[in-house]
Amino acid sequence: MRTNRHQYFLDLATRCAHQGTCLRRNFGAIIVDEFNTIVSTGYTGAPRKQMDCTELNRCWRKDHNIPSGSNYERCRSVHAEMNALLQAGKLARGCTLYLAGFDVETDETTRIWPCFLCSKMIVNSGVANIILRTGKDTHKEMDPMVLYQMRSREALGEETE
């Protein structure tokens, strides 16, 4: 049975996430242009030619009980969104970014939004829309500025409206 385009690209993003090398959560990102052509892909992993957590068989953040969503500077991995945006460069302008992820231990779909740093990069890249997998067959569409404002309030401890 044929799926709709959002489901198709989210399925591809999930496949990309399975290439990830994080021991906690892996994400996959697909950047698609206005003609539904894939511009770039990305997944969670260590910088080029560096040892990743699967090779080391340990996660520094996990070993030190760093809570999810905090202290990303203490993570060996580059986020899927960052990797996809770096590969796309200026071609990301006006595109849609699809993002899907899963918890490594449970294999369950994660519902975590892009972090504050990724949200800043998404806005600056000119991506027009974000589609986030929220379940096997469900998703949420977000405007990059709305995501940035939400993450900004969280990161900077500002009150929500």
pLDDT in tens, 59-82: 888 888 887 777 777 788 899 999
Rounded-to-integer distance, Cα 93 and Cα 125, Å: 6
Rounded-to-integer distance, Cα 9 and Cα 32, Å: 8
Contact 130, 114 (CB under 8 A): yes
Give a yes or no: residue 23 inside a domain.
yes
Q: What is the pTM of this model?
A: 0.92
Q: Could you list the residue range(s) of the whole structural domain that residue 131 is in?
A: 5-156
Supply the pLDDT for residue 159: 60
Give a yes or no: residue 37 inside a domain.
yes
Give a yes or no: residue 161 inside a domain.
no
Residue 119 — pLDDT band, cuts 50, 70, 90?
A: very high
Give a yes or no: residue 99 inside a domain.
yes
Element (H, E) at 62: helix 60-63
Rounded-to-integer distance, Cα 15 and Cα 13, Å: 5
Give a yes or no: residue 35 inside a domain.
yes
Which residues are paired to 112 by β-bridges? none
What CATH number is associated with residue 135?
3.40.140.10
* DSSP at 44: S
Sign of CA dihedral 67, 71, 74, 77: positive
- The total number of structural domains in the chain stands at 1
Give a yes or no: residue 52 inside a domain.
yes
Mean pLDDT for 18-37 is 96
